[in-house]
């Protein structure tokens, strides 16, 4: 079934079941996203994709709200802009965004200042370097949930990671803070693949950034087959 509704003053059409974000993207309307990823279940946690829907008391996350006939949607109303800008400014006061290039771009676009909240307590964590495959730098984590989701029933069914704490103190963690090799982690790398901020990073990339040379990193052992003398 085809649905017709209004987005940013223009009439747009959608197929039944399409989200407002889908429709916006098809129509060349830019709605920013942070936690959203095509491969994971949308949980609408970041709220950066919120839009104003006429008749709704609060802003609606476009990543999960479905298009409906006669809806009137504004993707850049004053309320929407204030929410997006403030969320970005709060992120900048919370975490290390130095490698979150997409978010830096959004901040420029929305005129969000990284110094908006002076004396804010940052969410800091030491780099966890406990396995041969990847490092975890949770000072850079913005809690998009993707890593937990792909580790669980969105992809791998490994259930190695979950959450520590709650509220502002939330951090991704393992059972009783175990090192990765002591968990059910199979080093599949799915979590590293979906991390948007460099909080999860391949170990080799991390070591190269630390100034190690390839030769230093790879203490090569080609593992020649030991042949028995015949």
Partner 1 sequence: MSEIDLAPLKPAIERYIPLGRSGLLPALHAAQKIYGWLPESVAAEVAKKLRVPLADVHGVIEFYALFYNEPLGRKVIRVCTDPACALKDADGLLTKLCKQHDIEPHHTTGDLSLTIEPSPCLGMCELAPAVWTMDDGQWTVGDGEARPRSMVYGPIRELTKNCGNGTTSLKQYGEYKGLQKAITMQPKAVVEEIKASGLVGRGGAAFPTGIKWEGALNAEADQKYVICNADESEPGTFKDRILLLDDPHSTIEGMCIAAHAIGATKGYLYTRAEYPYIVPVLENALSEAREAGYLKDFDIEIRVGAGAYICGEETALFESIEGKRGFPRIKPPFPTTHGVFGKPTVINNVETLCNVPLIISMGSAEYRKIGTEKSPGPKLFCVSGDVTKPGMYEVPFGVSLREVLEMAGGVAGGKNLKSVLFGGAAGAFATSDHLDVKMTFEDLRAAGLPLGSGVVMVFDGTRDMRDVLKRLGRFFAHESCGKCYPCQMGTQRQKEILDRVADGKAQKDDFIRLQDVGWTMTDASICGLGQTAASATMSAMKLWPELFEVKS
CA dihedral of 5, 10, 13, 18, whole degrees rounded to 10 = -70
Token pair for residue 136?
Answer: 């975890």
Find tokens 């993207």 and name the residue.
25
- Compare residues 55 and 211 and give the one whose CB is closer to partner 1: 55
Say whether 90 sits in a helix, a strand or coil.
Answer: helix
- Compare residues 112 and 207 and give the one whose CB is closer to partner 1: 112
- Least Å from the CB of residue 144 to partner 1: 10
- Compare residues 139 and 208 and give the one whose CB is closer to partner 1: 139
The CB-based long-range contact list for 24-31 (8 Å cut-off, 24+ gap) reads 24/62, 24/75, 29/75, 31/62, 31/75
- Least Å from the CB of residue 107 to partner 1: 14
* CA–CA separation, 66 and 183 (whole Å): 38
- Least Å from the CB of residue 165 to partner 1: 6
Interface positions with partner 1 (CB under 8 A): 34, 43-48, 50, 58-59, 61, 64, 79, 82-83, 85-87, 90-91, 93-94, 116-121, 143, 152, 159-170, 173-176, 183-184
- Compare residues 7 and 53 and give the one whose CB is closer to partner 1: 53
- Least Å from the CB of residue 132 to partner 1: 20
- Compare residues 27 and 171 and give the one whose CB is closer to partner 1: 171
Measured CA angle at 109 (ends 104, 112), to 5 deg: 70
- Least Å from the CB of residue 109 to partner 1: 17
- Least Å from the CB of residue 142 to partner 1: 8
Find tokens 């090192």 and name the residue.
179
- Compare residues 27 and 77 and give the one whose CB is closer to partner 1: 77
* CA–CA separation, 27 and 84 (whole Å): 21
Distance of CA 87 to the CA centre of its chain: 14
- Least Å from the CB of residue 68 to partner 1: 11
Question: From the CB of residue 87, how many other CB atoms can be counted at a distance below 10 Å?
Answer: 19
Residue 109 main-chain phi, psi, to 5 deg = -60, -40
- Compare residues 86 and 104 and give the one whose CB is closer to partner 1: 86
């Amino acid at each position: 079934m085809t649905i017709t509704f209004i987005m940013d003053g223009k009439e747009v059409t959608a197929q039944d079941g399409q989200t407002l974000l889908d429709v916006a993207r098809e129509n060349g309307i830019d709605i920013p996203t942070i936690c959203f990823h095509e491969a994971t279940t949308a949980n609408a946690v970041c709220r950066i994709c919120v839009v104003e829907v006429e008749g709704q008391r609060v802003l609606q996350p476009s990543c999960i709200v479905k298009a409906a006939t006669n809806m009137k949607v504004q993707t850049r109303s004053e309320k929407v802009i204030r929410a997006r800008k403030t969320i970005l400014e709060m992120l900048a006061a919370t975490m290390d965004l130095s490698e979150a290039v997409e978010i830096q771009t959004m901040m420029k676009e929305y005129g969000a200042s990284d110094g908006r909240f002076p004396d804010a307590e940052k969410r800091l964590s030491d780099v966890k370097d406990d396995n041969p495959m990847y490092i975890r730098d949770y000072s850079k984590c913005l809690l998009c949930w993707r890593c937990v989701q792909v580790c669980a029933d969105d992809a791998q069914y490994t259930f190695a990671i979950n959450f520590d704490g709650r509220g502002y103190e939330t951090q991704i963690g393992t059972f009783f803070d175990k090192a990765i090799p002591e968990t059910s982690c199979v080093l599949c790398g799915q979590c590293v693949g979906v991390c948007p901020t460099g909080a999860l990073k391949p170990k080799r990339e991390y070591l190269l950034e630390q100034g190690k040379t390839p030769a230093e990193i790879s203490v090569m052992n080609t593992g020649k087959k030991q042949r028995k003398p015949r």
